[in-house]
Amino acid sequence: MFNEMWRLYRDYFWDPKMNGKNWEDARRKYIGFLSRVSNRTEFNEVASAMVAELGVGHTSMRSPIDFPDKQRGLGRLGGAFSDGDGDGVMVVEVYDGDIDLAEDRSPLSLANPPIVPRGPNYADQRRTRSQPKLF
């Protein structure tokens, strides 16, 4: 997990020069602390200390256990599906959520071309044999 986090910062940090820090040196410095880590909170402290080397205040590392249940995000595809006639998946209904808040919209309602439920059971007649790209 440590190496993957390090790699993600290396590959996706906004500054390819890592704010003037030698990111490989930072990895070598902090990987030595991992043998003393006994839980996720301690791991987060080591990882956060390494990220702090970049000198950017708005980036940090937190785990899901840092958030009470009511603050966790809820993933929702926002639809009901049917096997149809066995030839792919049929969208039966789209649950759109709050149409005024983009982050609460179903990805199905944002599909291009749009998925429009129709017919007596709101079935979209388009079927797919592969996983649809929803974002």
pLDDT digits over 89-120, tens only?
677 777 777 767 777 777 777 776 666 554 43
- Residue 54, SS3? coil
| DSSP conformation class of 94 | E
Task: Work out the pLDDT band at 125, boundaries 50, 70, 90.
Answer: very low
**pLDDT for the residue 11:** 92
Q: What is the mean pLDDT of residues 16-28?
A: 94
Max intra-chain CA distance, the chain? 64
Instruction: Kindly report whether the global pTM for this prediction surpasses the value 0.75.
Output: no
CB 102 within 8 A of CB 79: no
Task: Work out the pLDDT band at 50, boundaries 50, 70, 90.
Answer: very high
Cα–chain-centroid distance for residue 112?
A: 21
Of 17-21, 25-29, 53-57, give the lowest mean pLDDT range. 53-57
Query: Which residue bears the tokens 């071309």?
Result: 113
pLDDT digits over 73-92, tens only?
555 667 777 766 665 667 77
CB 51 within 8 A of CB 66: no
